[in-house]
Amino acid sequence: MRDMVDDQIERVRIDSRESYQRVQQFCKQFMPELESRVEYYPGERPILSGGRKIESWATNRKGWWEATLPDVATGDWYFSQLFVNDQRRFRPRLPGKGYYTIAEQIPATRRNVRKGHDRFRYGGEDLNPEWENLEDVEVFAFHIWSASRMRIASLDTKEKVVTFTSATRSTSHWGAFRKGHRFLAINVKEALQKPGQWYLDRKTGLLTYIPRPGEKPKDAKVIAPCLSRLVIFSGDIPGRKWTQHIHLRGLTFAHANWALPPEGMSFPQGEVNIGGAVTAVGARHCLIDECAVRHVGGYAMDFEVGCQHNRIEGCELWDMGAGGVKMGHSGGKGRQRQRDSDGDPRTQPQRR
């Protein structure tokens, strides 16, 4: 304090309550003449955002907002989350209310019969091969205590069979598409109709958003994530060179992406093969306190292999796609695949 404060400094503002109290105590004991010039700043945390603000909206004849994103059209960007005025918005789904149910469990295809389940029979017109951008439709199927998010490889309208690009993680009953179990079709362009819904056309780069009552394009803050990880503590595990003694305080981490890979995503417990916006590998004696993580597609924080003696204190975690804090490594090759591909448009299926 003695070196920082001179006659030209009117105020010293400290945004950490703990640091402010220590400085106040120090000034009271050793530099009482400076005590009145030190104050606590209770303002908002600095925001480290992995997103991009969407602007240049046009309004179509329906009153829907549209913005063309060239980086999406060229295959350099894709996102599955969107946030408007600090709230998550959702992609269109079918049915609009309730759920579809699986009409019949059928054996897996020959290539996956020893791996898991990769198809089921649906009922009526629940799934439609004429949907635009069918490869971007996600079938969200519920099992017993978990769910799988699958991509469609083909639809047999005569037999009413949907086959997926890959199989679930097990041939056991918990990974089966059982008769009567529920499922949804998510990201269906033709289902776009409710205020608050949005759709991103990967081929054209056109983002369409149906505004909620009172929302105006010139006033709305629309954020789409570009990054899947906002902070990475990365140590050298084979070399036993740890990332250590790092302290993050009073920060907000926001707007992280997670995109479904081409083979879909299936895991029996806790979505443990999805990473975090704040990720640590080989990190030790690190502290994250008085921080916030919000509006992310995966976990808020993820402490993986080689992590010890780290602390999370006084943090706020909300609006997460997977969960809060994950500790320990799990998922095998599937987890490595997720680590490599989260949010990377080059790993996503594209059709020109």
pLDDT in the model for residue 251: 94
pLDDT in the model for residue 125: 95
Which domain-ending residue is among 203, 220, 237?
220
Which domain-ending residue is among 173, 189, 205?
189
Based on the fold, state whether residues 69 and 214 are members of the same structural domain: yes
Q: Is residue 141 part of a domain?
A: yes
Q: Is residue 215 part of a domain?
A: yes
Strand 38-40, strand 12-14: pairing: parallel
CA-CA distance, 273 to 179, in Å (whole number)? 26
| 219 Cβ contact list (under 8 Å, min separation 6) | none
Based on the fold, state whether residues 80 and 103 are members of the same structural domain: no
Domains: count for the chain: 4
Based on the fold, state whether residues 106 and 82 are members of the same structural domain: no
Residues 59 and 167 sit within 8 Å (Cβ to Cβ): no
pLDDT in the model for residue 2: 66
Is residue 244 classed exposed, middle or buried when 0-12, 13-18 and 19+ CB atoms within 10 A define those classes?
A: middle
CA-CA distance, 24 to 13, in Å (whole number)? 11
pLDDT in the model for residue 281: 96
Structure tokens at 36: 């009145």
Q: Is residue 100 part of a domain?
A: yes
- Flag residues of the chain having pLDDT under 50: 332-344, 346-352
CB neighbours of residue 146 within 10 Å: 17
Q: Is residue 49 part of a domain?
A: no
Based on the fold, state whether residues 228 and 319 are members of the same structural domain: yes
Based on the fold, state whether residues 107 and 84 are members of the same structural domain: no
pLDDT in the model for residue 303: 96
pTM, two decimals, is: 0.83
Average pLDDT score, the chain:
90
Based on the fold, state whether residues 167 and 201 are members of the same structural domain: no
Based on the fold, state whether residues 83 and 180 are members of the same structural domain: no
Based on the fold, state whether residues 281 and 296 are members of the same structural domain: yes
pLDDT in the model for residue 112: 96
**Could you tell me the residue range of the domain that residue 214 belongs to?**
55-90+193-220
Residues 302 and 280 sit within 8 Å (Cβ to Cβ): yes
Q: Is residue 48 part of a domain?
A: no
Q: Is residue 50 part of a domain?
A: no
Based on the fold, state whether residues 103 and 10 are members of the same structural domain: no
Q: How long, in residues, is the chain?
A: 352
Q: Is residue 278 part of a domain?
A: yes
pLDDT in the model for residue 228: 96
Percent of the chain that is helix, strand, coil (3-state, to 5): 15, 35, 50
Based on the fold, state whether residues 84 and 211 are members of the same structural domain: yes
Based on the fold, state whether residues 112 and 172 are members of the same structural domain: yes
Kind plus residue range of the DSSP H or E element containing 338: helix 332-341
Based on the fold, state whether residues 239 and 336 are members of the same structural domain: yes
Q: Is residue 197 part of a domain?
A: yes
pLDDT in the model for residue 351: 41
